[in-house]
Structure 1
Amino acid sequence: MEVVASAPGKVLMTGGYLILERPNAGIVLSTNARFYAIVKPIHEEVKPETWAWAWADIKLTSPQLSRESMYKLSLKHLMLQCVSSSESRNPFVENAIQYCAAAGRSKLDKNKKDALEKLLLQGLDITILGCNDFYSYRNQIEARGLPLTPESLAALPPFTSITFNAEESNGGNCKPEVAKTGLGSSAAMTTAVVAALLHYFGVVNLSTLSEDSHQQNKDSMDLDIVHMIAQSAHCIAQGKVGSGFDVSSAVYGSQHYIRFSPEVLSAAQAAVKGMPLEDVIGNILNEKWDHERTKFSLPPLMSLLLGEPGTGGSSTPSMVGAVKKWQKADPEKSNETWRKLAEANSELETQLNMLSKLAREHWDAYKCVIDGCSRLKPEKWMEGVTEPIKEAVVKTLLHARDAMVRIRYHMRQMGEAAGIPIEPESQTQLLDATMDMEGVLLAGVPGAGGFDAIFAVTLGDSSSNVTKAWSSHNVLALLVREDPQGVSLESGDPRSREITSAVSSVHIN
């Protein structure tokens, strides 16, 4: 039996910094970039003598990094020991394995517990794969002399090997750093592994997940278990309780999110201090998780575009630290800025929801306006529009733009006050130019900002013009789009599927 689960990467469109503190909300979009986890047994049969063993074999393979690690899992304490010489550990997956086994022990009845022990004794063979979109291939594209276009990215084979930064010149090996695009690879990877293991162990059943599964109680309960275990494993691996929006969107998809109280995870932190893991996970599953999420997704006929400016990444933790320091030093000014930012974030969300409503109720007029605006610069959107409904659509589009302009203004103010480049000057020029193009509704820096990435929301078919314009500014447009679906069960190894789809997309003239 083989289980394959996948979870999406994310883009935090609004709520950077504010989302760290309740009750501030953020809009997070899940994407078509997915992380996959494949779980199957190592041994076909459990040999009679293995029941006497107190250890289960676990093999973790990451083909893109050419890495394989072997572990033993103590069946008594559910603790993992690495037995291979692999220098680089993966704390996210290690925690996920331990927590999922403990969740099985905590949740399953007697018969299912015996089945779980048998599955553990057969060993776990786990493979993790991330879509190319999670990683930066900009250097390889430039090294091959190819243009900085999405077509060059699309020409890379699926699940391409990831290159590490070069060794230091003095022969010493610096910490291998993978260049990433900021889509939340650790959250998507942790969630995919947790979902695959919990389904494999029979703790949850993800095969009934429907498109709208959040409405159905049983599915939603199963997703909630995946969410609680994935949040716990991710936070403990990171060594801090983050806001959790990246794990939440990996589980449930695009959403309006308000974080959980950090105290919810005090039980998980106690585990590190030696409480039995089964009890800890039992406590976590019974905790009152008080995060809030509401379904959200971009209005119809709109596309999310992401660009990689190639100025090198920014360190989110150090930027968050600088903002917190500024909040302490100047509470009055920082509260004022945050209040205005929260208002602008909320205003943008209101306008986008209004556009979705207009699309539902007046599709023809909505479609007509979006098609028209996709070919015009924003200052011309209102020209020649006379019908009241069409006018309402254009006005809402323009209100959404105003809200984005205000968000960017307050984010820049916050960056200047905290002494960090939240929207650096180079990004400002690029974003202003992008927001001026035909068919562009919004542009901004996602998440904590910095030099990592820029995003745009485009109308109709205008995204290809933006892509070309970005390319001329040395910005690589990525292949990522919004996909509102969260965690899901897949029907087989994604590598074979990617290869068959690649073969079928080759046109022979």
Structure 2
Amino acid sequence: MAVVASAPGKVLMTGGYLILERPNAGIVLSTNARFYAIVKPLYEDIKPDGWAWIHFQSWADMKLTSPQMARETMYKLSLKNLVLHCVNSGDSRNPFVEYALQYAIAAAHVRFDKDKMDKLQKLLLLGLDITIFGCNEFYSYRNQIESRGLPLTPETLASLPPFASITLNAEELSETNCKPEVAKTGLGSSAAMTTAVAAALLHYLGVVSLPSMVREHIHGDEDPMELDIVHAIAQTAHCIAQGKVGSGFDVSSAVYGSQRYVRFSPEVISSAQVAGKGLSVQEAIDDVLKSNWDHERIKFSLPPLLTLLLGEPGAGGSSTPSMVGAVKRWQKSDPQNSQATWTKLSEENSALEMHLNTLSQLALRNYDVYRTVINRCSLITSAKWADEAIEPNHIEVVRALLGARDAMLGIRSNMRNMGLAAGIPIEPESQTRLLDTTMKMEGVLLAGVPGAGGFDAVFAVTLGDSSQNVIRKWSSLNILALLVREDPHGVYLENNDPRLTGVTTGVASLDIS
């Protein structure tokens, strides 16, 4: 029986750069763009010689298929030491999936008793058939849209077939370079993919029981301990595949959903970093699962009637690792000024979080009043919002809205200062002009560059029904508004293969009217 799991992409709204160091926090929003992993047996029956050799050096067959990339990779997995051997080695290898596969099976080994181990071995001898694919929003189709003379609108994006092939421009390839660069939109595809694969495998093998999604509403059956196992495996696999221990906010949001996040200590996965060097994979994963995962996460989502928008400027991507490196060099060369900037930035991040939480609390306290103020403010610019506080209970809502705007302006100012000092374009001039224009529009609460900044994307948070005005304005400025919205849910079990049903819980079901 096939298992289908999905995990969301992310938008880091606050905490860029600071989130790399404890105890700095960041607000990360999970989205309706999801990555899917399907796991099922490769064979109907165990090969005649398979079970007889289980106590010797037996190998299980594994197949990884990525239909969007038109790639298929075959592996042999040693059931003795979990070494993974690629049969058709080449440019098609995917280290994120490989480590997720290795570590998920290792987790089963260290958590199962003898009876379960026998069942696991038989299950593995049937082979594993793994298929991965992501929503279109993880990838940039802007070049293809422009080359066809189509308008840069969400409607054009919505007209693409779900899980479209990632077509390539022929001029980008050469005889000496046959590995194309796939343009992405910065939603954290590798983290979402790694999480989906790890979760699907752990569920398929019986290590965890994932929460399920039925008609787009999660059952209230999430077990934090079960998701903690998924998180530990996905986080470790993602770090080892990257070759560095990042902050991990992208994997955390893929597992748990939107949240306020403080990173884990890098030492947590130190055993995995030396796996195969005197320490077996099973021993390393046993250590990882028993480690004190000291990350902090508090559930968070945008207040009611607020909408997240993402826009793709088409100015080319930015290299996050090189930008992070530049900021770290600046910190070392000018510790006093860099610390002062970080302190101010941290204070503004906390202020924005506080004002957004206040809005959520006000909505809970008196939704009718909250809705009235939000709808009125959605029709006018922020300069006129104070005029809408015509009753005492309106003042609190308007004060929180204006406080959130001021905090965002402070965040942007400090991010620009950091970029200037470090010599990198955290908020390039072109982005500044776009963001200033966006924040002056009716019904716009916030606008900024997510994560590490640069040229990748911009985000806006709008009030009520004002998002369509922003989308139209962006289109006139040659900015492609994506179909991405916040969805606070993390990883879960799907009912079916979305390619067969034509219905997804991600962007394909988004109403763009």
TM over 0.5: yes
Q: Residue 159 of structure 1 aligns to a residue in which SS?
A: coil
| Structure 2 residue corresponding to 1:120, chosen from 106, 119, 124 | 124
Whether the aligned pair in 2 keeps the contact of 1:68 and 1:86 (CA below 8 Å) is: no
For 1:25, the equivalent position in structure 2 comes to: 25
Q: Is the 8 A contact 2:212 2:218 kept in 1?
A: no
User: How far off its partner does 1:19 sit?
Assistant: 0.2
Q: Show the counterpart of 1:182.
A: 186
* Aligned equivalents of 1:489, 1:501: Cα separation in 2: 11
The CA distance in 2 between the partners of 1:158 and 1:26, in whole Å, is: 31
One-letter amino acid matched to 2:440 = D
Q: RMSD of the TM alignment (CA)?
A: 1.8
User: 1:167 touches 1:173 (CA, 8 Å); kept in 2?
Assistant: no
Alpha-carbon offset, residue 122 of structure 1: 0.1
Note closer, same or farther for the CA distance 1:134–1:2 as it changes in structure 2 (3 Å cut). Answer: same
Per the alignment, residue 474 of structure 1 pairs with 478
Give the aligned partner of residue 255 of structure 2. 251
Alignment of 1:35-46 (within 5 A): 35-46=35-46
Structure-2 change in CA distance of 1:167 and 1:110 (3 Å): farther
* Cα shift at 1:171: 3.1
CA distance in 2, matches of 1:44, 1:432: 59
Instruction: Output the CA distance in 2 between the equivalents of 1:399 and 1:426.
Output: 26
Is the Cα contact below 8 Å between 1:299 and 1:359 reproduced in 2? yes
Is the CA contact (8 Å cut-off) linking 2:373 and 2:388 kept in structure 1?
Answer: no
Of residues 391, 398, 401, the one that matches 1:394 is 398
Instruction: State the alpha-carbon separation in 2 of the partners of residues 57 and 194 from structure 1.
Output: 18
CA offset digits 1:358-392 (Å, max 9, x no partner): 00001000000011011111111121422111111
Mapped contact 1:344–1:403 kept (Cα < 8 A): yes
Tell me, in whole angstroms, the C-alpha distance in 2 between the residues paired with 1:66 and 1:369: 50
CA distance in 1, matches of 2:114, 2:337: 58
Cα distance between partner residues in 2 of 1:167 and 1:463: 37
Q: Give the superposition deviation at 1:163.
A: 2.3
Match of 1:76, SS state, is: coil
- Is 1:140 the counterpart of 2:128? The answer is no
Which moved further from structure 2: 46-55 or 77-86? 46-55
Whether contact under 8 Å (1:135, 1:179) holds in the other structure is yes
Matched to 2:341, the amino acid is T
2:499 paired residue number: 495
Please, what TM-score do these two structures have when normalized by structure 1?
Answer: 0.96
The 8 Å contact of residues 312 and 481 in structure 2, kept in 1 or not, is answered as: yes
| Residue in structure 2 matched with residue 458 of structure 1 by the alignment | 462
For residue 50 of structure 1, what is the aligned residue in structure 2? 50
1:59 and 2:63 correspond: yes
Give the Å deviation of 1:87.
2.4
Corresponding residue for 1:2? 2
Say if 1:158 and 1:14 are closer, same or farther in 2 by CA, change over 3 A: same
Whole-angstrom CA distance in 2 between matches of 1:435 and 1:485 = 28
Shift of 1:108: 1.2
2:439 is equivalent to residue 435 of structure 1: yes
Shift of 1:167: 5.1
Distance 1:69 1:394 in 2: 56
Q: Which amino acid aligns with 2:282?
A: E
User: Are the equivalent residues in 1 in contact too, given 2:498–2:504 (CA < 8 A)?
Assistant: no
d(CA) in 2 for partners of 1:177 and 1:121?
Answer: 36
Distance 2:22 2:89 in 1: 43
Q: Which residue of 2 aligns with 1:15?
A: 15
Which of 363, 368, 374 is residue 378 of structure 2 equivalent to? 374
**Counterpart of 1:486 in structure 2: which amino acid?**
G
Alpha-carbon contact 1:208-1:219 (below 8 Å) kept: no
Q: Is the 8 A contact 2:211 2:218 kept in 1?
A: no
Residue among 246, 257, 262 paired with 2:266: 262
- Residue 332, structure 1, aligned to residue 307, structure 2: no
* 8 Å Cα contact 1:165/1:178 also seen in 2: no
Does 2:281 correspond to 1:277? Answer: yes
SS of the residue 1:180 aligns to: coil
Conserved? CA contact 1:267–1:280, under 8 Å: yes
**Paired letter, 1:46:** I
**Alpha-carbon contact 2:316-2:455 (below 8 Å) kept:** yes
Distance 1:90 1:448 in 2: 25
Q: Kindly indicate whether the alpha-carbon contact (under 8 Å) linking 1:31 and 1:482 is maintained by their aligned counterparts in 2.
A: yes
Give deviations 1:224-272, integer Å, cap 9, x for gaps. Answer: 0000000000000000000000000000000000000011111110115
Residue aligned with 2:68, SS: helix
Give the aligned partner of residue 312 of structure 1.
Answer: 316
TM-superposed CA distance for 1:222, in Å, is 0.3
Q: Report how far residue 164 of structure 1 moved.
A: 3.5
CA contact (8 A) 1:344 1:406 kept: yes
Deviation at 1:289, TM superposition (A): 0.5
The residue identity in structure 2 corresponding to 1:276 is S
Q: Deviations over 1:409-446 (max 9, x none)?
A: 00000000000000000000000000000000000000
1:73 aligns with 2:77: yes
2:115 match: 111
Partner secondary structure for residue 502 of structure 2 = helix
Letter in 1 for 2:467: S
Q: What secondary structure does 1:288 align onto?
A: coil
Q: 1:500 & 1:299 partners in 2: Cα distance? A: 25
Q: Structure 1 residue aligned with 2:411, among 395, 407, 414?
A: 407
Query: How far 1:84 moved relative to its partner?
Result: 1.6
User: What is the CA distance between 1:207 and its match in structure 2?
Assistant: 4.5
Q: 1:352 to 1:163 in 2, by over 3 A?
A: same
Amino acid at match of 1:307: G
Residue identity in the other structure for 1:232: T
Number of the residue aligned with 1:356: 360
For residues 291 and 173 of structure 2, the distance between their equivalents in structure 1, rounded to whole angstroms, comes to 50
Cα displacement (A) at 1:46 = 1.5
- C-alpha distance 364-16 of structure 1, shift in aligned 2 (>3 A): same
Match of 2:105 in 1: 101
In structure 1, C-alpha distance between the alignment counterparts of 2:14 and 2:278, rounded to whole Å: 39
Percent identity (aligned): 70
Conserved? CA contact 2:104–2:198, under 8 Å: yes
1:205 is displaced (CA, Å) by: 0.8
Kindly provide the CA deviation profile for residues 440-492 of structure 1, in whole angstroms up to 9, marking residues without a partner as x.
00000000000000000000010000000001111000000000000000011
Structure 1's unaligned 5+ residue stretches are none
2:29 counterpart letter in structure 1: L
Contact 2:388 2:394 survives alignment (8 Å): no
Preserved CA contact (<8 Å) 2:212 2:492 = no
